[in-house]
């Protein structure tokens, strides 16, 4: 019995050592334990007295996929665990708790397949700072009692998939909604610890771009560039990509979410590369457009400079108080008034705004399109600026994207270390390693 207990203790130590930083302040995934507690308390304070929030973890992934926790569950717990549920209650709840975590007991067989997972015990209480932890099997009985006092429930996406029937069985009159609006308000302003992780994600992403640019040449396949970027991501501590890599050469650069990445690159192509490394659950999102032959044609350069000037305009205008929608309109007007023109698919000459077909910006954080409460910019928010032009008739697609932290007076370009001026981009490609 003592051997089994010792083995369990060693297993849990190994589990937590991967995410528990050795520092004066205990952390999970680089975030202080106290910060997770503060997040849970803030969500509790946002709930009306007849409401509770229920957040489920992701379930076990298919064999071919690597596990990634639901962002909202991770934001509030710091735990990579399956089939678990966090319940957040309002401050005046008669149940006497503001947060209750339900964790499954792990079988011997499951431990062999998955390694040790957090269980409802004192070790997990100390590690997470969550005092009220129960076995997952106790959830149904808990809900029967909880829904008497709190018949309105806010769910995250996994909970909507797995718990709706359980809730209706516990209380047929339950009112179910989504928790995303409240979570967006919590997540949109990043803490110093979150910003530190995002800087590391940006650094890994820049390394991916540089490695990819060194590999770029006519005759190379898009997937070869993808492999070069992935290897650089991992070398810089990234666990995974924040989203499927977009590496579109020639006509593929005009497909906004192209990610097949299987075409052979040809001389004269532009190669649009939109990639972002995820680091400890925070992602970057950086785009550059490279000339495959190492030099832009005059037409490519003129359009590239137009996109870059649009980016610089938005960068200058971005400051606390402005909205992303207002920034977008400034760039639309810039393209509409630009002297360059291009022809659409019907051969009609158009102003450049016709070829700018997506939003200029989005929030960035645990998800590449992070939850957005649609508020004016304020210090601590992180967002993208990514103007683009897509002209299928010419086989030209150009996008330039950087990541920005809102400061008290303006913005900081987190990805400024990656060249974007046309001459510097050309030098990056020409300086590639000999194969």
pLDDT in 10s for each residue of the chain, 435 residues: 344 443 444 344 434 444 444 446 799 999 999 999 999 999 999 999 999 999 999 998 887 789 999 999 999 999 999 999 999 999 999 999 999 999 999 888 888 888 899 999 999 999 999 999 999 999 999 999 999 999 999 999 999 999 999 999 999 999 999 999 999 999 999 999 999 999 999 999 999 999 999 999 999 999 999 999 999 999 999 999 999 999 999 999 999 999 999 999 999 999 999 999 999 999 999 999 999 999 999 999 999 999 999 999 999 999 999 999 999 999 999 999 999 999 999 999 999 999 999 999 999 999 999 999 999 999 999 999 999 999 999 999 999 999 999 999 999 999 999 999 999 999 999 996 544
Residue-level pLDDT at 202: 99
Residue-level pLDDT at 248: 98
Name the nearest CA neighbour of 388 among 284, 298, 255, 292. 255
C-beta atoms surrounding 317 within 10 Å: 15
CATH of domain 192-430: 3.90.230.10
- Interior angle at CA 189, CA 386 and CA 241, nearest 5: 50
Q: Tell me which H or E stretch contains 309.
A: helix 298-317
Handedness of CA 377, 379, 380, 385 (dihedral sign): positive
How far apart (Å, rounded) are the C-alpha atoms in residues 168 and 147? 10
Task: Calculate the alpha carbon distances from 236 to 32, 231, 240, 352, 415 in Å.
Answer: 22, 9, 11, 38, 15
- Interior angle at CA 17, CA 13 and CA 23, nearest 5: 120
Task: Calculate the alpha carbon distances from 376 to 189, 363, 383, 406 in Å.
Answer: 12, 12, 12, 11
SS3 78: coil
Task: Calculate the alpha carbon distances from 299 to 3, 193, 231, 310, 398 in Å.
Answer: 72, 44, 33, 17, 12
What would the two tokens of residue 292 be?
């495959």
Cβ atoms of 280 and 241 within 8 Å: the answer is no
CB contact burial 221-258 (16+ within 10 A = b; e otherwise): ebebbbbbbbebbeebebeebbbebbbbbbebbbeeeb
Which residue ranges make up each domain of the chain? 2-187, 192-430
Residue-level pLDDT at 435: 44
Task: Calculate the alpha carbon distances from 179 to 95, 171, 317, 364 in Å.
Answer: 21, 19, 32, 19
Burial class (CB in 10 A: 0-12, 13-18, 19+), 343: middle
Residue-level pLDDT at 379: 98
Residue-level pLDDT at 112: 87
Residue ranges in 78-188 assigned as alpha helix (H): 108-114, 122-128, 139-149, 157-162, 164-170, 180-187
How far apart (Å, rounded) are the C-alpha atoms in residues 420 and 210? 12
What would the two tokens of residue 428 be?
């990056």
Q: Are strands 175-178 and 270-275 parallel, antiparallel or unpaired?
A: unpaired
C-beta atoms surrounding 262 within 10 Å: 11
How far apart (Å, rounded) are the C-alpha atoms in residues 349 and 343? 4
How far apart (Å, rounded) are the C-alpha atoms in residues 202 and 260? 24
SS3 264: strand
| Greatest C-alpha distance within the chain | 80
- pTM for this predicted structure: 0.92
The conformational region for residue 141 under phi > 0 = left, psi -120 to 50 = alpha, else beta, is: alpha
CA atoms within 13 A on the CB side of 123: 16
Cβ atoms of 247 and 273 within 8 Å: the answer is yes
Query: Which CATH number fits the domain 2-187, given the four candidates 3.30.2010.10, 3.90.550.10, 3.40.350.10, 3.40.630.10?
Result: 3.40.350.10
Residue-level pLDDT at 110: 83
């Amino acid at each position: 019995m003592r051997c089994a207990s010792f083995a369990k203790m060693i297993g849990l130590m190994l589990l937590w050592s991967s995410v528990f930083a050795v520092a004066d302040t205990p952390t999970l995934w680089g975030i202080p334990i106290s910060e997770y507690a503060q997040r849970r308390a803030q969500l509790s304070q946002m709930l009306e007295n007849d409401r509770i929030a229920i957040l489920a973890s992701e379930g076990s992934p298919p064999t071919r996929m690597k596990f990634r926790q639901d962002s909202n569950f991770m934001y509030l717990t710091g735990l990579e665990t399956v089939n678990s549920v966090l319940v957040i209650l309002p401050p005046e709840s008669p149940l006497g708790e503001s947060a209750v975590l339900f964790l499954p007991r792990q079988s011997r067989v499951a431990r062999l397949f998955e390694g040790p997972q957090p269980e409802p015990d004192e070790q997990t209480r100390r590690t997470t700072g969550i005092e009220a932890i129960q076995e997952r099997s106790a959830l149904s009985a808990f809900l029967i009692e909880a829904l008497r006092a709190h018949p309105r429930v806010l769910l995250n996406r996994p909970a909507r998939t797995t718990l709706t029937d359980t809730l209706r069985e516990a209380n047929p009159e339950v009112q179910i909604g989504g928790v995303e609006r409240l979570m967006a308000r919590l997540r949109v302003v990043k803490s110093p610890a979150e910003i530190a992780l995002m800087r590391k994600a940006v650094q890994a992403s820049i390394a991916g771009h540089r490695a990819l640019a060194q590999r770029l040449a006519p005759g190379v396949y898009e997937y070869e560039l993808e492999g070069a970027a992935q290897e650089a991501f991992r070398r810089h501590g990234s666990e995974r990509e924040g989203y499927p890599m977009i590496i579109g050469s020639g006509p593929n650069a005009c497909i906004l979410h192209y990610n097949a990445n299987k075409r052979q690159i040809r001389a004269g192509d532009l190669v649009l590369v939109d990639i972002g490394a995820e680091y400890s659950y925070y992602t970057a999102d950086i785009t550059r457009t490279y000339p495959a032959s190492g030099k832009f044609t005059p037409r490519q350069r003129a359009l590239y400079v137009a996109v870059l000037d649009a980016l610089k305009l938005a960068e200058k205008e971005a400051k606390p108080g402005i909205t992303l929608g207002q920034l977008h309109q400034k760039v639309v007007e810039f393209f509409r008034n630009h002297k360059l023109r291009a022809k659409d698919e019907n051969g009609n000459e158009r102003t450049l705004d016709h070829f700018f077909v997506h939003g200029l910006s989005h929030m960035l954080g645990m998800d590449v399109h992070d939850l957005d409460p649609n508020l004016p910019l304020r210090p601590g928010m992180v967002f993208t600026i990514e103007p683009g032009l897509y002209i299928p008739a010419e086989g030209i697609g150009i996008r330039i994207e950087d990541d920005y932290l809102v400061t008290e007076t303006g913005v900081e370009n987190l990805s400024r270390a990656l060249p974007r001026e046309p001459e510097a981009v050309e030098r990056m490609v020409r300086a590639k390693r000999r194969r």
